[in-house]
Amino acid sequence: MGRPLPVRSVSEFGPHCWQQVELVSDDMVLLASSARDLQLSLDRFATACEAAGMKISTSKSEAMVLNRKKVECLLQVTEEILPQVEEFKYFGVLFTSEGRMEQEINRRIGAASAVMRTLSVVVKRELSQKAKLSIYRSIFVPTLTYGHELWVMTERTRSRVQAAEMSFLHRVAGLSLRDRVRSSAIREELGAESLLLRVERSQMRWLGHLVRMPPGRLPGEVCRACPSGRRPPGRPRTRWRDYVSRLAWERLGIPPDDLEEVAGEREVWASLLSLLPPRPDPG
């Protein structure tokens, strides 16, 4: 009998996402705009698995609805109902039913802080500064910034990311907050690039990839999608594309109306991102 295959089912966007589920063989996500379409895709997928000598592992499969309100979604695989969850991890990133990334960003900051506490060698005088920076770049930074291309950064988020970054770099430099040395001076002394600069450059680089994707590619379709229905009362959430459009306007001076045209030119866009300056230190 074939190896059980876990499936993560999410009700959102369009049913055409069926063609995308074959890309990763050990962890699948099915996307649909309704429970009915999702059940149809799931049935087709189960049939394809059986034809290939595999089966869906119902004990490892979950359903989730992306909606501000709790909506029931009963999906069935071989007469078994899949459990509906409020959150799940996919490729190490936490997705929630509300569609927010704040919880994932908090997880990444917490994970990076745990790395810093575990790596007590960073504060030892016997370890060279070069070795400490190697630990910073190879362990701490990837842990903190994993999946950052899709973050929507607020001033509070930027402050927390910078605080986590500088807490580690203070230890590398053998300094404390009482030394009152500016963050930019510490980075310059250590030859470390600003973490916020790295994040923002990567986010705008990913925007360029999305703009240049040919029609039919799922990431581009999702980025350009306009959900239907009435918006709930209150301040609307900041969409990623609105956030990164504002980021390009603030950091590169590119008006939103010209953004796709400029980002569509690969060499021009790469040149602009290479010249992106770091944000000034607060205060």
Closest CA to 195 of 241, 146, 243, 244: 146
Amino acid 166: pLDDT: 93
Quick one: tokens of 30? Answer: 């099915």
* 243 phi-psi bin (left φ>0, alpha ψ -120 to 50, beta other): alpha
pLDDT in tens, 107-146: 999 999 898 888 776 667 778 888 889 989 999 999 999 9
Q: State residue 187's pLDDT score.
A: 94
Structure tokens at 24: 């990763």
| pLDDT at site 123 | 65
**Which residue spans within the chain are E strands per DSSP?**
4-5, 7-11, 28-32, 55-56, 62-65, 76-77, 80-81, 87-90, 93-96
Rounded Cα–Cα distance for residues 55 and 48 (Å): 9
Cβ-contact 99, 66 below 8 angstroms: yes
Unique residue bearing structure tokens 């595999």: 54
| Closest C-alpha among 210, 226, 163 to residue 13 | 226
Which pLDDT score is estimated for 18? Answer: 37
Residue 48's identity, in one-letter code, is: A
- Ranges under pLDDT 50 in the chain: 1-3, 5, 11-24
- Which residues, including other chains, have CB under 8 Å from residue 200's CB and lie 6 or more apart? 153, 247, 251, 276
